[in-house]
Copies of this chain bind each other. A is one copy, B any other.
Amino acid sequence: MSKLALEHFLPYRLNRLSTAVSLRFRRVYGPHHNLTIPEWRVLATLGQFETMSAKAIGAHSAMHKTKVSRAVRALEERRWLKRRESVDDRREEFLSLTAQGLEAYADIVPRALAFEAQILATLGPQAQALLGALDRLEETFEPGRS
């Protein structure tokens, strides 16, 4: 009867690594302790694209629309995000960061990049291999992403 060593099983290892990295990444938020991952993703997306609808944010950051909706509201209550209603389609709203939001973004991003760089640095020459494998796997498991 064939056995399976859980600790070497790829899905398990990926899950563990992902949660460990996410956990460690929390520290990067720095003074903004109580930021959740969905909130970070919305922040990052709006920092990247300036203005977007909630739907577009969800598409870009791979989040369910309810997750986006709640994260948006949380950021809005934090005064990091403002809504502007669309004139030609009054169902959607255009979301963008406030000055405070941009400030937080500008504060977090360099630390996030440094965090990522540190990970890649510990990998050394293996880093490119990992990124290449990630490309390949994403294209296998998450088709329909640009």
Chain A: residues with CB nearer than 8 A to chain B?
1-7, 9-22, 24-25, 37, 41, 44-45, 47-48, 60-62, 106, 109-110, 112-113, 115-116, 119-120, 122-123, 126-127, 129-130, 132-134, 136-138, 140-142, 145
A47 contacts B3, C-beta separation under 8 Å: yes
Assembly CA distance A119 to B17 (angstroms): 17
Complex interface: chain B residues within 8 A of A3 (CB): 47-48, 109
Query: Can you give 16 contacting A-B residue pairs, CB < 8 Å?
Result: A1-B106, A2-B110, A2-B113, A3-B47, A4-B109, A17-B18, A17-B134, A17-B137, A18-B18, A18-B19, A123-B133, A123-B136, A126-B132, A129-B129, A129-B130, A130-B133
Q: Which residue of B lies closest to A117 (CB)?
A: B10
A21 contacts B16, C-beta separation under 8 Å: no
Assembly CA distance A141 to B138 (angstroms): 22
Smallest distance from the beta carbon of A128 to chain B beta carbons, Å?
A: 9
Assembly CA distance A136 to B135 (angstroms): 19
